[in-house]
A and B are shown apart, each in its own frame.
Chain A
Amino acid sequence: MIRSRTTCRTAARRALLILVCATLLPAIAYAHGERAQEPSLRLSTIQWYDTTWSSQQVSVNQELVVTGRFHIMGSWPLEIPSPTTLTFLNVGVPGPVFTRAESEVNGVNGVSSMALQLGGDYAYRIVLRGRLPGRYHVHPMLDVLDAGAILGPGQWVTVVGDPASFDDWITTLTGRRLNLVSYGLRTVIGWHLVWVALALVWLGYWIRKPLLMPRYAAVQAGEGDRLITRGDRMMAAVMLAATLVTAIVAFAVTNVANPVTIPLQSHQTKVPALDEPPASVTIEPETVTYLVPGRTVQFHLRVTNHGAQPVRLGEFTTANLRFLNASVSRADPDYPPDLLAPAGLLVQPNRPIAASESIEMYLEATSPVWETDRLTALMSDPTSRIGGLFMFFDPAGKRSIVEFSSSIVPTFTGHLVGEL
C-alpha cells in the first residue's frame, strides 16, 4: 500500500515536471498548421497551381514575388461558404515579417476584397518586402468570408540583414513624403502622456488624502457631504476646464496640422475569371477508392479527348500536393519537395489519348502524404469527396486543365498494380 502510494507520488511528480518543461520549453511552430485544416477544405475548394517564389532568400527591404494561379472548384462543397460573396488574397506568413507592397488578382488591385466565380481560374501576383530576419514558410492564401483561410502551397524563404534598416517610404497625395515605419508614433505617445499627466494630477490629489476607512465611517455616520470640501470643488472645476480646453485645443490644432483627411476606405469588387478556352478533355469517374494499407488513391476513369490533338495525362494536383506522371511532366527544381509525391502518378495505359478517343484509365496516386498531411481524415468528414485538377498536355506542350470531383470510398483489402 505504502509502496503504491510512493509510486503514485513519484509518477505525479514526473508528470508535473514534464508539464512544467513543456510549458517553459515550447516547440516553435514554424509553419501554419495547414495540415490541420479539414481535408474537404483542401481537397474540394481551391486548387493552387503554377506557384512560384522569386527567391528562397531575400534581404531586408528586398522584394519577394509570389505568383501563380488558383482554380475555384465548380463543385464547391455545399457545407462550406463559397467565395462568390467575398474573398481576400492574403499571405500565409507568421505576421508582418514581410510587408505586402502590392498584390493583384487577374490584374485587379489586391487591396480590394473580391467576389470570385465558381469554376473560374485566376492568376495572382503578390509582392512582399523582407522586414524581419528569419526563416519563414510563405504561402499564398485566400480568405473566404465565413469559411476562413485556405492556404496555397508553402515555400521556405529566409530573410537576412539588419531589421533596423527596414523602411517604408510613402508619398501622400498632398506631396508629403514619410516613413510609415515610425510615422505618427511621437504624436500618439505625446498625447497619451498629456492625458496620463492630467489623470495623475487628479488621482494624486485624492490619493494623498485618507481614502477608505475614515471616509466609509463618515458616510455611514451620515456625514458624507462634509467629506467634500470647497477646495475639492475648486480642483474639480479646474480639472474639468483643463480637460475640455485641452481636448478642444488639441482638436483645433490637429485640424490645422492635417487639413486633408479622408475616411477609412473599403474596397470591394467582382473579378471575372480568366478567359480560358474550355478544356478539350472530359473525365467521368467510375470508381475512386482509397486503399488504406497502400496509402493510395485508385481512380477508374473514363477519359474522352474532344480535341484535335492527342493528349497525355501529366499531373494530378490536389490540396497543394502534386502527383506527376514522370514520363510527361517534371517539376521546377526549386519547387518545395515536400509538396511532390515521391512515387508520382501511375497511369494505365500510359500513352497518348488520340483525338476523339474515349478510353478507360486506371490511376494510382500513391504517397505517404495522404496520411502525413492528414488528408485521409476526409473519411470522417460529412461528405467524403475528393477533388483536384488533372492536367493533360498535347504534343506541343499546350495544357488542358480538367476539374475533377468524385466521392471516395476507403478499402482495406486490395492490391496495387505494382504488386501484381
Chain B
Amino acid sequence: MAASLRARTAPATVTPEERNRVYRRFDLVVAILLFFLFMGLYHVVTMLTVGDWDFWDDWKDSRWWLSFTPVAEIAMPSAILFIFWSRFRLPFAATFLTFSLVAAEWLNRVLNMHGWAYFPLNFIWPATLIPCGLALDTTLLLSDSILIAGIVGGFLWGVVFYLANWPLIAPFLAPVNLHGALMSLADLQGFHYIRTGTPEYIRIINRGTLRTFGQDPVYLSVAFAGFMSIVVYMVFVGVGWLFVKSQFSWFKKI
C-alpha cells in the first residue's frame, strides 16, 4: 500500500531530457488535436458566413467575394492569434488555421461535392487564405505588437486575398457567347452543371453601385476588405483577450 502510494506521488520525470521528451509528445498531441479541431471549427464558420461564395466558381465575383470573404474569415484567426501570442509567443496561429481550413475544404469538395454530388472539381474549388495568414503572422512577429499586426497585417490580409486568388479565378472569367448571351466560363459552368437548389437569381454577385467610383469595383472592394479586416481583427483580438482572461486558469494547473 505504502509502496504504491509512493509510486503514485513520485515525479513522472527525473531528467531534463525526459521532461523535454514528455513536453514534445504533449506538443504533438495538442498540435494534432488542434489541427482537426480547427479544420472543423473554421470550416463550419466559413460555410456559415462565406458559404456559396466559396463553393462555386460563378459566385466568386469582384465585389462580394473579394470583400466579404477576408472580412468574415479574419475573425477566428485574430482571436486564436492573440491566445497563441500572449500565452506562448507563437506567431503561427493564422497560418495554422488557414492551412487547416484549406485541408478541410478540399476534403469536403473532393469527397462530398465531387464524390457524392458529382460536381466537377474545377467548378467547386475553394479559395486560399494561406497567404493572408502568413502575412498576418509574420507582421505580428516582426512588429512584436498586436496593434501594428492588426493595422499592417490586417490590411495585408484583405489585399493579399485578392492577389493570391486572382490566378485561380481569372482563367474562368474568359468570355463566351451562349446563344446571344455574354457569359464568363464560370457563369457557363453554373448553367451547365445543374444545381436544383441554387437558381441563377439567388447569386449575390456584383450587386451595388461601387462602379460609380471607377471602371472596375475590384480595387475599391479590395481596399474596403483591407480596412474592414483591420476592424474585425481588433474586435476579435478582444474576444481572444476575454478568453485568455477567463479560461486560462486551467492551463496553469497542468
Report yes or no: A172 in contact with B176, Cβ–Cβ below 8 A: yes
A232 at the interface (CB under 8 A from B): yes
B7 interface contact, C-beta 8 A: no
**With contact pairs A86-B201, A174-B175 given, residues A188 and B142 touching in the complex (Cβ less than 8 Å):** no
**Contacts beyond the supplied A183-B171, A206-B90: 6 A-B pairs with Cβ under 8 Å:** A99-B193, A104-B179, A195-B131, A210-B27, A211-B31, A228-B144
Known: A185-B122, A219-B88, A233-B142. A199 touches B99 (CB 8 A): yes
Q: By the criterion CB–CB under 8 Å, are A113 and B90 in contact?
A: no
Task: Find residues 170-202 in chain B having any chain A CB closer than 8 Å to their own CB.
Answer: 170-189, 191-197, 199-202
**Contact status B164-A195, CB under 8 Å:** yes
A166 and chain B: residue at smallest CB distance: B120
Closest to B179 in A: A109
Are B189's CB and A180's CB within 8 A? yes
Q: For B183, what are the chain A residues with a Cβ–Cβ distance below 8 Å?
A: 111, 265
Residues of B within 8 A of A184 (CB): 122, 171-172, 185
Sample 21 A-B pairs with CB under 8 A, ordered by A number: A90-B199, A91-B194, A97-B118, A111-B181, A132-B118, A143-B199, A173-B182, A183-B172, A184-B122, A184-B185, A185-B122, A199-B95, A199-B133, A202-B138, A211-B30, A211-B90, A213-B254, A215-B88, A219-B86, A243-B160, A267-B200
Within 8 Å CB of A372, what residues of B? none
Residues on B with beta carbons closer than 8 Å to the beta carbon of A225: 89, 144
**How does the 8 Å CB contact mask read for B66-95 relative to A, with 1 for contact and 0 for none?**
000000000000000000001111111001
A92 at the interface (CB under 8 A from B): yes
Q: B23: which of A149, A210, A239, A248 is its contact (CB, 8 Å)?
A: A210
Contact status A88-B186, CB under 8 Å: no
* Assembly CA distance A191 to B166 (angstroms): 10
Q: Which residues of A contact B196 (CB under 8 A)?
A: 32, 90-93, 95, 141, 149
Is A15 interfacial (CB 8 A cutoff)?
A: no
Chain A hits for B89, CB < 8 A: 215, 218-219, 224-225, 227-228
Q: Are A258 and B170 in contact (CB under 8 A)?
A: yes
CB-CB contacts below 8 Å: A62-112 with B:
86-88, 90-93, 95-102, 104, 109, 111-112
| The 8 residue pairs across chains A and B that have the minimum distance between CB atoms | A88-B199, A143-B199, A261-B173, A113-B201, A240-B138, A247-B163, A96-B193, A195-B130
What bracket does the count of chain B residues touching chain A fall in? 35 or more
Whether the pair B91, A260 counts as a contact (CB closer than 8 A) is no
Whether the pair B201, A263 counts as a contact (CB closer than 8 A) is: no
Q: Which residues of B sit under 8 angstroms from A247, Cβ to Cβ?
A: 131, 160, 163-164
Taking CB atoms, residues of chain A closer than 8 Å to B235 are none
Give the docked Cα–Cα distance between A255 and B62 (Å).
Answer: 15
**A95–B191 alpha-carbon span in the complex (Å):** 12
Q: CA of A168 to CA of B185 in the docked complex: distance in angstroms?
A: 12
B153, chain A: closest CB distance, angstroms: 9
**A170 at interface (Cβ–Cβ under 8 A)?**
yes
Other-chain residue from A98, A131, A215, A261 in contact with B184 (beta carbon distance below 8 A): A261
Complex Cα gap A161–B132 (Å): 45
Whether A187 touches B168, Cβ cut-off 8 Å, given contacts A109-B179, A236-B141, A264-B61, is yes
Q: Is the CB of B178 within 8 A of A102?
A: yes
CB distance from B99 to the nearest CB of A (A): 4
> Among the listed A97, A182, A253, which residue makes an inter-chain contact with B167, where contact means beta carbons less than 8 Å apart?
A253
Contact with B along A215-256 (1 / 0, CB 8 A): 110111000110110001100110110011011101101110
CB <8 Å contact, B118 and A96: yes
What's the least CB distance linking A93 to chain B, in Å? Answer: 6
A168 to B31, CA, bound (A): 44
* Chain B interfacial positions (CB closer than 8 Å to A): 20, 23-24, 26-27, 30-31, 58-62, 86-92, 95-96, 98-99, 102, 106, 117-122, 125, 128, 130-131, 133-135, 137-139, 141-142, 144, 156, 160, 163-164, 166-168, 170-189, 191-197, 199-203, 205-206, 251-252, 254
Q: Which of B139, B166, B170, B178 contacts A240 (CB 8 A)?
A: B139
- Is A192's CB within 8 Å of the partner chain B? yes
CB of B138 within 8 A of CB of A236, answer: yes
Taking CB atoms, residues of chain A closer than 8 Å to B180 are 109
Whether A198 sits at the interface, judged by CB under 8 Å, is yes
Q: A243-B134, A264-B58 are in contact. Are A172 and B88 (CB under 8 A)?
A: no
For the complex, is A145 an interface residue (Cβ under 8 Å from B)? yes
Whether A262 sits at the interface, judged by CB under 8 Å, is yes
Find chain B residues with CB under 8 A from A206 CB.
90-92
A109 pairs with B178, CB closer than 8 A:
yes
Contact of A216 among B87, B118, B192 (CB under 8 A): B87
Interchain CB contact under 8 A, A216 and B185: no
A168 to chain B, nearest CB (A): 6
Query: In the bound complex, how far is the Cα of B142 from the Cα of A188, in angstroms?
Result: 31
Cα separation A99 to B142 with both chains bound (whole Å): 51
Residues of A close to B202: CB separation below 8 A: 143, 145
Minimum distance in angstroms from B73 CB to a CB of chain A: 15
Residues of A within 8 A of B163 (CB): 247-248, 250-251
B130 touching A196, Cβ below 8 Å: yes
Query: How many whole Å from B179's CB to the nearest CB in chain A?
Result: 5
A327 contacts across to B, CB distance below 8 A? none
Q: What residues of B have a CB within 8 angstroms of the CB of A101 in the complex?
A: 192
Q: Are A211 and B88 in contact (CB under 8 A)?
A: yes
Chain A residue with minimal CB distance to B22?
A213
Q: Is the CB of B205 within 8 A of A264?
A: yes
A214 interface residue, CB < 8 Å from B? Answer: yes
Check if A202 sits within 8 Å of B137, measured CB to CB: yes
Q: Does A176 contact B (CB under 8 A)?
A: yes
Q: Which of A148-165 contact B (CB under 8 A)?
A: 149
